[in-house]
Amino acid sequence: EDDLESEVLGVASCPGLTEDQKRYRLELMRMAATPTPKVPNEPAPPCDPPDRIRVLPLELMRVEREHMLARMLNSSAGRGLMFSLTLLSFSIAATGVVIWGMPALILKNYAIIVLL
C-alpha cells in the first residue's frame, strides 16, 4: 500500500499531465495493484475424506470370453494359415496381372477370364 500511495502522490504531482491523464494513470495503477491475500495465523482445521466404498461397474469386473474364431486366428496355426492365404492371393493376383496382357490370350478372348 505504501508503494501505491507513493505512486499516487508521484502521479498527482507530475507536471504536464492533464486531469484526465492523471485520472487514467491512477485508475490503471489501482487496477494493476494486486492485493496480497490475507493468511490467518492459525492452521486450517483437519479434514478427513468421507468414507466411501467404491464399487467397480459390472462390465469392468466381467472378463469377456474370446470367441473360437479369435482364439484360432491368434494361435500359431491360425497365423500361419492367414499368412499362407495372403501369400497365395497375392501370387494369384500378380500372375493374373502379368498374364492378362499377353497377346495370345487377347486373340483367343481368354484375357477377360483371366481378369475375373
Output the pTM of the full model. 0.36
11-46 pLDDT, tens digit per residue, is 556 667 787 887 888 888 788 777 778 888 998 888
Q: Compute CA distances 69 → 33, 75, 89, 103, 115, whole Å.
A: 70, 10, 21, 45, 32
For residues 103-107, average pLDDT: 77
pLDDT at position 6 = 53
Could you tell me the residue ranges of all domains in the chain? 2-32, 75-116
pLDDT at position 9 = 56
Cell numbers standing for residue 34? 494486486
Which residue has better confidence, 9 or 40? Answer: 40
Question: Which residue in 99, 78, 3, 24 sits closest to 111, CA to CA?
Answer: 99
Q: What is the mean pLDDT of the chain?
A: 78
Query: What is the band of 2 on the pLDDT scale with cuts at 50, 70, 90?
Result: very low
